[in-house]
Homo-oligomer: A and B are copies of this chain.
Amino acid sequence: MNITALENKILKYLSKYTKTTKEIEEAIIESSFFKTFKKGTILLKEGGFSNECYFVLEGCMRSYFLKDGEEKTIEFYTEEDIVTPANYGKSTPSQYYLECIEDTIVNVGNPSIEKEMYQKYPQLESLSRVIAEVILTKQQESFTEFKTSSPEERYLNLLKTKPDLMQRVPQHQIASYLGIKPESLSRIRKRLIASNLLS
């Protein structure tokens, strides 16, 4: 994918939330900074520091942490997801890992670019507030959904909201994301197939 196509993806995303002016579009493009990571790249380690946030243009990242030597998947990030590590721009060490589980192309942000852009274009700060609130609401809904669903319901919901994830991610990572053991996920899948809820 060429640079212009990547830039257009960013502008398309932003246009969902605001009417940008030509000037702002040019500013965004001017400050856009792309990076490509190979599958398997670890972008952040437990105990490490984070000075970058990402907008995923192509590919898939996964956050996870180690508990008693086992990887517990927290989140998957695919196209149009924003990845802001909890310790981004702070002096606190990360509690988790961030890994590219596919070749991944991102737009990179960092605190100094952000600060400069907000000063130059206050409208961008307004846009960031709107986007932060949208993400907050989505996350609140995911948390509620997770807390109040059975593993089977969580699996069905994931199939509905991120159907492509099943083809992109190993089953054991999906299981740990759902908070269950791989054997339990196999049982759930068998049960759903038997009752014709899954093909």
Contacts and interface: CB of A to CB of B under 8 A. Distances in A.
Interface of A: 65, 67, 72, 74, 84, 86, 95-96, 118, 122, 125-126, 128-129, 132-133, 135-137, 139-144, 146-148, 179
Contacts of A139: 136, 139-140, 143
A148 B72 contact: yes
Given A65-B148, A143-B143, 11 more contacts: A72-B148, A74-B143, A84-B133, A86-B141, A95-B141, A118-B126, A125-B129, A129-B132, A132-B136, A136-B139, A147-B179
A74, A84, A129 — most chain B CB neighbours (10 Å):
A129
A22 B20 CA distance: 32
A199 to B, nearest CB: 27
A104 B91 CA distance: 36
The count of identical subunits is 2
Given A129-B129, A148-B72, A142 B140 contact: no
18 contacts: A65-B144, A72-B148, A74-B144, A84-B137, A86-B144, A95-B144, A96-B144, A118-B126, A122-B125, A125-B125, A125-B126, A126-B129, A129-B132, A132-B136, A135-B136, A139-B139, A139-B143, A143-B143
A180 B143 CA distance: 16
A122 B122 CA distance: 8
A137 B132 CA distance: 10
Contacts of A136: 84, 132, 135-136, 139
B148 A67 contact: yes
Given A132-B136, A136-B136, A74 B126 contact: no
A153 to B, nearest CB: 10
Nearest to A65: B148
